[in-house]
Amino acid sequence: MSVHSKSSSAQSVAERAAELRDQLHHHAHRYYVLDDPELPDVEYDKLFEELQAIEAEHPDLLTTDSPTQRIIGKVLDGFTPVRHAVPMLSIRTETDTEASGAVAFDARVRRELELDESDPPIEYAAELKFDGLAINLRYEHGVLVQAATRGNGETGEDVTQNIRTIAQIPLRLRGAELAPPVIEVRGEVYIRRDDFDSLNERQRELIAKGAKNEKTFVNPRNAAAGAVRQLDPAIAAKRPLSFFAYGLGAVQDWTIPPTHSGLVDALQAMGMPVSVERAVVHGADGLVEFHRRVGAKRDDLPFDIDGVVYKVNDRALQQRLGFVSREPRWAVAHKYTAQEQMTRLLGIDIQVGRTGKLTPVAKLEPVFVGGTTVSNATLHNQDEIDRKDVRIGDTVIVRRAGDVIPEVVGVVADKRPPDTQAFSIVAKLQSKCPVCGSEITREEGEVDWRCSGGLFCAAQRKQAMLHFASRRAMDVEGLGDKLVDQLVDSGLIRTLPELYKLGVAKLVALERMAEKSAQNLVDGLERSKKTTLGRFLFALGIRHVGETTAKDLAKHFGSLDRILDASVEQLLEVNDVGPVVAQSIHTFFAQPHNREVVEQLRACGITWEEHDGTADNAPKPLAGKTFVLTGTLPTLSRDDAKDLIEAAGGKVSGSVSKKTHYVVAGAEAGSKLDKAQELGVVILDEEGLKALLPP
């Protein structure tokens, strides 16, 4: 089935409409009934919009069975059908992801209500558009009696057994004594991103142990839908489902609050989980601002959203606005740019990392996803390639969320061309490093293949040099990846100490190297010589020795010579150093060539202050305290603030939780500040932080 054949001249508009209907029925069945989509949602939406556009232009082509005219989905044999007392509607989607999408909705509402410019702005309830599946929860006299999926909107499926396993969903409402005879709560079942990751982790373990019928999931929405529609509730119970309430179904003898926001508050008071990310806003400006604010924190949310939802807040106005073909005129879903897209996998390159790790990288037909054009995406390792059965020539789903490296999350199985072959890193490389030709190896129990060439390998040399020069290591200004490529490729530099022997004269001989940049680099190198033992150790790039371990080693031993001579047992005495790390450090310094590099670097004039190893005596007023930094502080850089807090004995963490003691917030602080306020964590500005530090 060809999805992309757009209406050619040979194909009449009527034929195209019929083709689209068939395709949409097919994909809706895969998506809604089988929970096994062949297309990412955006592709489905594109087909849907194309059909809607044709029908709008040619009303005579509109058929009663068009997917645009009803909400699709058949009931599976295994579940009892449930006829909804009040149909479960869908909301119109605004796919203009810019502010203009919100402005257009407000304009439409005002037009329908026949308001003119002198009338005040409309009040809206703005919410998140959760990416899970809609559920109707029926409570009779405060007790959960039935949970049903949306199905086709008229009739869904009875999934009470499975829904009862969701701890977040109350089996009895708060204040049940006063609860009405009937109240139906509507909302979304979804899976948090961290839960999704652990779920897939568990699935991978099961598969590794030989479980036959297990698979990993492409995204949280899929996993949630699959879990809710599991025939065995014991399996559903193991799936980490969550729920947010956002609406109402049938009610008896209950006075519905006059606004939507009031309704959600009432649901919350009854014990239903509702999102904190909601607001009552006014007019188009309010909608635009909400869309922008949520968009800025989208990647920091613990779950996926694909947009926000605006609802006219006043229920009386909602009634005046009414419905068009099963969609309320008073609500709209305003989307964000998609984080997943489909594209073709043209090839697979293998990259060599700093520690020799070989990473397969997908070469893609360029595609716009998550706000940029992506043509490379990571495939992680051989196990991941096998698990997803990714083959060159496949149509793949690429995901790019926030600053995360784009990744291939899955393959669109029915679009596989004939004659593809399973991909093997070993076969492709013929067991040799693509950069230096050394043998590649994989240790028992490891997922990654590695080049065994060490610093003989130019790729590893380059990465090692970049790491050495990086900001939190030796902090050599002016040494970026282009220059490192040039230095290594020209043969000018083979070892780290040679960096310090570069003179301006040698540098200007390089292509495109001006005297000024050459001088800047030489100055940068000179400045980097005065450093700390922790930075120096981190810069060496010893496997498993990150910044914190390096600092701990420096603090514990106080001098480099004591570290060079430390036994594994002595290394194990260091804070947070376990057997793997201790062994790695020991092995590193046991290699004569590593010792030589260290000696040469010292001979170049790299210095730091040492102490006798009996720990530092600086006061530690912040011992045991955890800080989170957010936003831009007026004078301190983030690194400086971190160093100061750590020097005073405190810890700096990346996310706010109940265990956070202080959040230090600067300008343009984001969701971390909101979270801190929500949890009642103490919030400091730069001055407040300085006041806690020793003089």
Site residues (vs ligand IVH, CB under 6 A) = 89-91, 127, 129-130, 134, 150, 188, 246-247, 309, 328, 331
Q: What minimum distance in Å lies between the beta carbon of 263 and ligand IVH?
A: 11
Q: Alpha carbon of 7 to those of 4, 19, 62, 442, 521: distances in Å?
A: 9, 10, 17, 51, 58
For the four alpha carbons of 62, 64, 67 and 70, in that order, the dihedral sign comes to positive
**307/434 with CB nearer ligand IVH:** 307
Tokens 């044709």 correspond to 54
Q: How far is the CB of 331 from ligand IVH (least distance, A)?
A: 5
**What span, in angstroms and rounded, lies between the C-alpha atoms of 522 and 504?**
7
* Cα gap 602→610, rounded to integer Å: 13
CB of 304 to ligand IVH, least distance (A): 11
HSE, side-chain direction, 13 A CA sphere, residue 383: 12
Tell me whether residue 127 or residue 184 sits nearer to ligand IVH (CB atom). Answer: 127
Rounded to 5 degrees, φ, ψ at 327 are -120, 130
Residues 50, 41: Cα–Cα separation, whole Å: 14
Nearer to ligand IVH, 89 or 537 (CB): 89
Distance (Å, whole) CA 392 – CA 618: 58
DSSP string, 211-243: -SS----SSHHHHHHHHHT-S-HHHHHHS--EE
Q: How far is the CB of 89 from ligand IVH (least distance, A)?
A: 4
Rg value, the chain, Cα: 30
Q: How far is the CB of 474 from ligand IVH (least distance, A)?
A: 49
Please give the Cα distance from 28 to 39 (Å, whole number): 10
DSSP-derived pairing of the beta strands 133-140 and 305-312: unpaired
- Min CB(126)–ligand IVH separation in Å: 9
150 or 535: whose CB is closer to ligand IVH?
A: 150
- Locate the DSSP E strands across 353-456: 358-369, 372-378, 395-399, 407-411, 440-441, 450-451
User: Is the CB of 150 or the CB of 651 nearer to ligand IVH?
Assistant: 150
If the CB atoms of residues 188 and 448 are measured against ligand IVH, the closer one turns out to be 188
Cite the active site residues.
129
Nearest residue (CB) to ligand IVH, 303 versus 536? 303
Cα–Cα distance between 405 and 413 in angstroms, integer? 24
To the nearest whole angstrom, how small is the minimum distance from the Cβ of residue 309 to ligand IVH?
4
Rounded Cα–Cα distance for residues 221 and 190 (Å):
6
Read off the amino acid at residue 603.
Answer: A
